[in-house]
């Protein structure tokens, strides 16, 4: 029997080890894309994703306030930066497989699944690139603490596909476009060619993930007769904790189909929502 895409997503989500999770995800992605290219798509199916994805015993997760402070200029600081990115990428792998399984009851065009399968495959590559860099520096994923609370956006939007698209690709992944250039600079200054190349690959590929979010968000708005900008503002204020922080990478955000009037108004709290 052919395993459905939703069942494959749940297999990835319930695999704890990062290298094993990403290897399995990459196999599923290759099979999905090959079947699509052959004109014989795999069934989407239905499968219940876990509330939280399986994760390895390490890294230890802790609140961002309790994380040890390290100077980005030091070798340890640079390793901590790579470790933080590896953790984000592993979380992103799970987020993309989760959107596939979690919302499989909502009929979407096959292109929706193509996009998130491709994004999940990219994140798997990114996680492995970061692990390779850490290992080349004598460390590994799990050697340092990692931010807790990464799955919060997924939990908050577990029942709202438009909310998920607004918060995950269009806010969190768009934020990656803002901050990656300065990370690349840190490694350029240190003359570390491996991390520079890896981070440049990540930076180039993340634009498409934001674009997938924007594409399907707009598609759902069109279907429901909603104004995309207003719907985006409402959903981000509903599900995202805090305000968006400039500076923004306006050029890459535009490449990804995210216009300034979507994100600039969210840099301030809405006056009416502020009880003070
Ligand atoms: Fe990524
Ligand atoms: Fe991404």
Domain boundaries, the chain: 1-43+92-120, 147-269
Q: Dmax over Cα atoms in the chain, in whole Å?
A: 59
Reported confidence tier of residue 276, pLDDT bands at 50, 70, 90: very low
**167 CA distance to ligand 2 centroid (A)?**
13
Chain segment 230-272, per-residue pLDDT in tens: 999 999 999 998 899 999 999 999 999 999 999 999 998 765 5
Give residue 127 CA to ligand 2 midpoint distance, Å. 11
> Where do the DSSP E strands lie in 125-270?
146-147
Q: Which are the contacts of 158, defined by CB distance < 8 A and separation ≥ 6?
A: 51, 102, 164
Q: Please state, rounded to an integer, the average pLDDT across all residues of the chain.
A: 95
Q: Are the C-beta atoms of 233 and 221 separated by less than 8 Å?
A: no
- Among the bound ligands, the one closest to the CA of 89: 1
Confidence (pTM): 0.95
CA of 171 to the centre of ligand 1 (A): 14
Alpha-carbon Rg for the chain in angstroms: 19
Instruction: Please state at what angle helix 75-102 crosses helix 110-136, rounded to 10 degrees.
Output: 160
Percent of the chain with pLDDT over 90: 90
Q: Is the pLDDT of residue 212 over 60?
A: yes
Give the ligand at the shortest distance from the Cα of 127.
Answer: 1
Enumerate helices (H) and strands (E) in the chain, giving the number of each: 11, 2
Q: From the CA of 44, how far away is ligand 1's center (Å)?
A: 24
Residue 61: which H helix or E strand, with range?
A: strand 61-62
For residue 221, how far is its CA from the centre of ligand 1 (angstroms)? 26
Q: What residues does the ion ligand 2 have nearby, CB within 5 Å? A: 92, 173, 206, 209
For 147, the 3-state DSSP assignment is: strand
Give dist(CA 246, CA 267) in Å, integer.
Answer: 7
Length of the chain: 276
User: Taking the CB of residue 267, how many other CB atoms lie within 10 A of it?
Assistant: 11
Q: Measure the CA–CA gap between 173 and 168, rounded to whole angstroms.
A: 6
Structure tokens at 88: 């984000």
Nearest CA among 269, 268, 266, 26 for reference residue 170: 266
**pLDDT at residue 60, rounded to an integer:** 93
pLDDT tens-digit series, residues 105-117: 999 999 999 999 9
**CA 170 – CA 76 distance, rounded (Å):** 31
């Amino acid at each position: 029997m052919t395993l459905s895409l939703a069942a494959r997503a749940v297999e990835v989500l319930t695999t704890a080890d990062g290298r094993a999770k990403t290897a399995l995800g990459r196999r599923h992605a290759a099979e999905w894309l090959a079947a699509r290219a052959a004109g014989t798509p795999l069934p989407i199916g239905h499968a219940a994703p876990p509330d939280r994805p399986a994760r390895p015993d390490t890294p230890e997760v802790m609140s961002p306030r309790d994380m040890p402070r390290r100077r980005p200029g030091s070798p340890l600081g640079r390793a901590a930066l790579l470790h933080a990115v590896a953790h984000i990428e592993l979380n992103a792998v799970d987020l993309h497989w989760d959107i596939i399984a979690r919302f499989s009851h909502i009929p979407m065009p096959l292109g929706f699944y193509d996009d998130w399968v491709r994004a999940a495959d990219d994140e798997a590559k990114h996680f492995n690139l970061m692990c390779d860099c850490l290992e080349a520096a004598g460390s590994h994923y799990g050697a340092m603490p990692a931010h807790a609370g990464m799955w919060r956006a997924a939990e908050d939007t577990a029942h709202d596909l438009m909310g998920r698209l607004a918060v995950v690709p269009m806010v969190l992944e768009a934020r990656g476009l803002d901050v990656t250039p300065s990370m690349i600079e840190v490694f350029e200054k240190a003359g570390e060619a491996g991390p520079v190349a890896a981070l440049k690959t990540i930076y180039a590929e993340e634009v498409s993930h934001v674009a997938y979010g924007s594409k399907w968000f707009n598609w759902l708005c069109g279907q429901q007769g909603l104004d995309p900008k207003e719907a985006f503002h409402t959903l981000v204020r509903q599900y995202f904790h805090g305000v968006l922080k400039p500076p923004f990478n306006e050029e890459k955000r535009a490449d990804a189909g995210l216009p300034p009037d979507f994100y600039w108004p969210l840099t301030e709290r809405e006056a009416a929502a502020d009880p003070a």
